[in-house]
């Protein structure tokens, strides 16, 4: 079958707090994509779930995914101020409200915890709630990451890859998942960029998991090859 390109499956909100959901997602995805997925881990979910205290969970992630990304530090409410996204995303816009130096300190703490858990720092960063604040490609190297995965693009200091992202955990109301699915489908229809499935633990409880698995199978049947964030930045052969 001729490949139509590459696509990405990325598990967000990976934390021991969602151990059961993480295992269920990996179990169902493994027969479809194998290890070719990215997992965005939160070093200390809401300040109560440090990765280093849950070694079995860390081993699970390391042994089942080809790539691990840094997903904020605590993944909780911004330290000051608020905005519509703060309310809609139920306070997960951690990077908003931080100045550049505070952003550096937050990522440094996240990388320290990440390195303690996995033996080396993360190369890629995904902002909680897609709100990256000062984490932009121009600052990426200074902040200690190589590339930043966003909703509409994957960016490094050297390259920008457009993305067509599906996501189903879009905030406080479950029905917003249908909006997130529609945005991804529309982006793919207009050939916006590489398909990305941004999946979350709440997708299981909200009933979107069968739809997500069906979409994964559809992309595979269309000739897309599963990849990682780093893989999307590499030229296709």
Q: What is the pLDDT of residue 89?
A: 56
Place 87 in a pLDDT band, splitting at 50, 70 and 90: very low
Q: Which of 31-35, 54-58, 131-135, 172-176 has the lowest mean pLDDT?
A: 172-176
* Residue 54 predicted with pLDDT over 90: yes
Mention every residue, 6+ apart, whose C-beta is less than 8 A from residue 185: 166
Taking residues 104-111, what's their average pLDDT? 93
Band (pLDDT 50/70/90 cuts) for residue 4 is: low
State CA 72 to chain mean position distance: 10
Q: Tell me: the pLDDT tens digits for 6-51? A: 999 999 999 999 999 999 999 999 999 999 999 999 999 989 999 9
Quick one: what percent of the chain has pLDDT higher than 70?
92
| 106: β partners | none
Q: Where are the beta strands (DSSP E) in the chain?
A: 5-14, 38-41, 44-45, 49-50, 67-70, 124-126, 147-149, 153-156, 160-167, 194-199, 224-227
pLDDT value, residue 191: 74
pLDDT of residue 88: 56
**pLDDT tens, 119-157?**
999 999 999 988 888 888 777 777 889 999 999 999 987
Q: Work out the angle between the directed axes of helices 19-33 and 209-221 (0-180°, nearest 10).
A: 20
pLDDT at 85: 62
Average pLDDT, the chain: 88
Percent of the chain with pLDDT over 90: 63
pLDDT at 164 over 60: yes
Whether the per-residue pLDDT at 81 is higher than 80: the answer is no
Among residues 169, 176, 171, 170, which one has the least CA distance to residue 201?
Answer: 169
In whole angstroms, what separates CA 101 from the centre of its chain?
23
Least confident of 19-33, 77-91, 145-159, 206-220: 77-91
Residues 6+ away with beta carbon under 8 Å from 184: 164, 165, 166, 167, 195, 196, 197
Name the residue among 26, 44, 21 with its Cα closest to residue 114: 44
Is 221 a residue whose pLDDT tops 80?
yes
pLDDT score, position 168:
95
Q: Enter the tokens of residue 48.
A: 């109560």
Q: How many CB atoms lie within 10 A of CB 20?
A: 10
**What local confidence, expressed as pLDDT, does residue 136 receive?**
81
pLDDT of 1 higher than 70: no
């Amino acid at each position: 079958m001729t490949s139509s390109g590459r696509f990405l499956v990325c598990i967000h909100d990976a934390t021991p707090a969602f151990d059961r959901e993480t295992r269920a997602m990996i179990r169902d995805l493994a027969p479809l994509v194998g290890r070719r997925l990215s997992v965005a881990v939160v070093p200390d979910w809401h300040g109560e779930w440090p990765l280093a205290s849950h070694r079995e969970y860390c081993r699970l992630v390391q042994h089942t995914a080809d790539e691990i990304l840094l997903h904020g530090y605590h993944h909780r409410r911004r330290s000051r101020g608020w905005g519509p996204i703060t309310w809609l995303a139920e306070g997960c816009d951690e990077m908003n409200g931080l100045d550049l130096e505070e952003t550096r300190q937050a990522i440094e703490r996240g990388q320290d915890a990440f390195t303690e858990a996995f033996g080396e720092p993360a190369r890629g960063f995904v902002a909680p709630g897609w709100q990256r604040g000062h984490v932009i490609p121009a600052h990426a190297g200074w902040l200690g990451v190589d590339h930043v995965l966003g909703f509409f693009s994957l960016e490094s200091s050297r390259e920008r890859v457009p993305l067509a992202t599906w996501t189903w955990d879009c905030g406080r109301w479950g029905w917003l998942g249908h909006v997130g699915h529609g945005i991804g489908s529309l982006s793919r229809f207009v050939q916006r960029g590489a398909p990305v499935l941004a999946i979350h633990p709440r997708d299981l409880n909200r009933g979107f998991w069968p739809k997500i698995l069906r979409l994964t199978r559809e992309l595979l049947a269309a000739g897309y090859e599963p990849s990682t964030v780093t893989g999307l930045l590499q030229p296709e052969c």
